[in-house]
Amino acid sequence: MISQQALMNDALSPHTPSPLPANADETVTGTDIVYLADLQPQPVEWLWQHRLAAGTLAMLSGEPGSGKTWVALAIAAALTRGRDPFTGEKLKPATVLYASAEHAAAQVIQPRFAGLHGDPARLVILRRAGSARSMSSPDSALHDLPNALENALQKTQAHLVILDPWDGLLGPEVDLDRASQARPLLDRLGRLAELHRCCILLIRHLAKPTVGRPVHRGRASMECSAALRTEFLVGSSPDAPGQTALLHVKSNLGPLAPPLDYRIGEAGNFHWTGLSNLTAEDLLAARPTGAGLPKRKFVAQWLRDCLQPGSQTQGSIEIAAERDGVCIATLRRAKFDIGVRSSKDGKSGAWWWTLPPPED
């Protein structure tokens, strides 16, 4: 008979494995365990101190026209030059992998990145997945996003991946409103980030204002809550639309970084202007629905704000309009009112809307 003292010794010896049953191979498969005492502490590897870390998923959310792409490119440009995006402190230069579902690389990304003084030799554009289906299609959607990223990361060893917006890069067969599809996708992206020691930054359009955290104002909201390690919010106060800021609203890795003000000039130039006093409540406050203006004039201003950061596809504008409660018919009339120009990207490409030059 086993003594009581022997049982107590076993209980107090965590490194002593318990005897396995004779048929263990038949009853237990694929189990991976490790004692906490055997793990080595792993410090956080920051790409941008307290904001973006290697091996993690992050998200940058904002309403249409808030400057999400500008902010993402400003971060990318600084990191490719080996500089802290805000302070300019010297860092190790990083390679950035960028994929966009809304912005043409030659027309939008390249000139913006040049104006931000980024290193073009370290910015890699991911345009299509490497399958025969996607390469033969004019649609730039990445029909198998994780596999496309896996292939690109093996080739580039990128430190930062920007998906702008991430849901627009998925094929039509992916339904992010279904947890059974969203959760495995986010898990795969998280494993890719960890395996390649990179940060994957997901850009997301916010839906109409609702009560709660910003992560809950978009598709796959609950799944994102669990998968993200850091989350950012960009936007402006309804009382001061010209005052825009980047806010750090979630971190599982350390303290929240201070909010930063930024400005996007009429000439299409971006610059940080200092620390901000805006809060998430300011940025998420409901905008006045017209502020007494006639509906068509209000929609015209909405369209100006949407296009102010740069050209947008007609599809993305109409999606944003529906989210913000803007009538599509009124939107098209307002487009004519303010002289928005539209051009087609190739024979079967998307229509792009652009504000007229200031002199017009």
One domain, residues 335 and 236: no
In a domain, 19, yes or no: no
In a domain, 27, yes or no: no
Quickly list DSSP for 124-145. EE--S-SSHHHHTSS----TTH
In a domain, 116, yes or no: yes
pLDDT at 217: 54
One domain, residues 149 and 264: yes
One domain, residues 307 and 232: no
pLDDT at 329: 79
Closest residue by Cα to residue 199 from 40, 118, 79:
79
In a domain, 36, yes or no: no
One domain, residues 92 and 162: yes
One domain, residues 273 and 324: no
Measure the CA–CA gap between 232 and 280, rounded to whole angstroms: 10
User: Looking up tokens 């107090």, which residue turns up?
Assistant: 12
One domain, residues 257 and 334: no
One domain, residues 277 and 135: yes
pLDDT at 45: 94
Q: Are 273 and 261 in contact (CB under 8 A)?
A: yes
| pLDDT tens digit sequence for 24-74 | 445 555 678 889 888 888 889 999 999 999 999 999 998 877 889 999 999
Q: Which two tokens stand for residue 282?
A: 């300011």
CATH code, domain with 53:
3.40.50.300
Closest residue by Cα to residue 207 from 167, 171, 180, 242:
167
Of the residues 256, 284, 312, the one at which a domain ends: 284
Closest residue by Cα to residue 263 from 309, 307, 297:
309
pLDDT at 131: 39
**Strand 46-48 relative to strand 52-53, pairing:** antiparallel
What pTM does this model have?
A: 0.68
CATH code, domain with 326:
1.10.10
Q: Please, which residues have CB within 8 angstroms of residue 50's CB and are 6 or more apart in sequence? A: 248, 251, 253, 254, 255, 256, 257
One domain, residues 237 and 337: no
Measure the CA–CA gap between 74 and 345, rounded to whole angstroms: 25
2 Rama sector, left if φ>0, alpha if ψ -120 to 50, beta otherwise: beta
In a domain, 95, yes or no: yes
Closest residue by Cα to residue 176 from 186, 187, 188:
186
Of the residues 284, 305, 334, the one at which a domain ends: 284
In a domain, 14, yes or no: no
Total domains, the chain:
2
Of the residues 230, 265, 284, the one at which a domain ends: 284
Q: Where are the alpha helices (DSSP H) in the chain?
A: 4-11, 24-27, 68-80, 110-115, 132-135, 145-156, 179-196, 221-227, 280-284, 295-307, 314-323, 328-337
Residues spanned by the domain of 54: 46-284
pLDDT per 10-residue tile (average), the chain, 360 residues: 48 45 51 86 92 95 87 97 96 95 83 94 80 40 74 95 87 73 86 95 76 51 75 84 88 93 82 91 65 66 85 85 77 84 74 78
One domain, residues 270 and 316: no
In a domain, 328, yes or no: yes
Measure the CA–CA gap between 127 and 139, rounded to whole angstroms: 10
180 Rama sector, left if φ>0, alpha if ψ -120 to 50, beta otherwise: alpha
Q: Are 309 and 67 in contact (CB under 8 A)?
A: yes
Number of CB atoms found within 10 A of residue 85's CB: 24
DSSP 335: H
Q: Please, which residues have CB within 8 angstroms of residue 211's CB and are 6 or more apart in sequence? A: none
